[in-house]
Amino acid sequence: MSRLNGKIALVTGSGRGIGRATAKLFAAEGAKVAVVSRTPANVENVVADIRSAGGNALGVVCDIGNADQIKAAVDKVVAAYGGIDILVNNAFDPSAPFSTVIDLSVEQLQRNFETGPIAYLRTMQACYPYLKASGEGRVINFGSMAAVMGLVGYAPYNMAKEAVRALTRTAAREWGPDKITVNNVLPLAETWGKEANVPAPTNALARFGSPVEDIAPVVLFLASKDGQFLTGYSLTPDGGSIIDSAR
């Protein structure tokens, strides 16, 4: 299969979970993939997996909460591959997502924004010239169904993830003339579901999504030619959780 044949993709947070599944699927579909994560061992493992399967991967260690490291990461990818066609903003620091509104501190909120919408903005800005030059650039950001549902005890996380949706919609309008699509994925995945304390039976399919089987294929759709006429949207591979939120 080669739905991304010849494309260059930068996937943040691809050392584990959804990012890892996405990077490996992109490579299997013919893309040159920059595996970006702050944990060197995870980067090395994913790159090795991709290469052993015959794919093309570049490992990039980067803390997305650091503006200089973001720029360096993008520069490294461009130097190695010559451009960027697809940006997947998946990375997020989960170290301080929990707080009720009454107990929320500015410090918690700042960290969630620094590794969420601010990091996504910086990565998008750094990649923009190359996405534009591509002539069919793709940006896929990650929001969260927890934010849509207003999950109790997740105030800083919810606020940051909903800001990502606003960034996505705005960039979709502004970058449309440059033939860049910008979309958002709001998963209910097993990588965070248990931590979020959302019982699986509350969604229609009564389970959490698999990063490999349920979430990464949706990201692939948005990155491929199949998704070329979709922009500014939030797709919800969530097993039907959105039904409870549509009130």
**pLDDT for the residue 244:** 62
Q: How far apart are CA 115 and CA 107, in angstroms?
A: 13
Angle made by CA atoms 90, 93, 97, in degrees to the nearest 5: 110
Q: How far apart are CA 21 and CA 164, in angstroms?
A: 21
**pLDDT for the residue 195:** 47
**pLDDT for the residue 106:** 94
Global pTM value: 0.93
**pLDDT for the residue 193:** 43
Domains for the chain: give ranges and CATH numbers.
Answer: 8-245 (3.40.50.720)
CB 216 within 8 A of CB 22: yes
CB 29 within 8 A of CB 5: yes
Q: Would you please indicate which residues are annotated as catalytic (active-site) residues?
A: 157
Taking only the tens of pLDDT, the chain with its 247 residues reads: 699 999 999 999 999 999 999 999 999 999 999 999 999 999 999 999 999 999 999 999 999 999 999 999 999 999 999 999 999 999 998 788 889 999 999 999 999 999 999 999 999 999 999 999 999 999 999 999 889 888 899 999 999 999 999 999 999 999 999 999 999 999 988 775 444 444 454 788 888 889 999 999 999 999 999 999 999 999 999 888 877 655 4
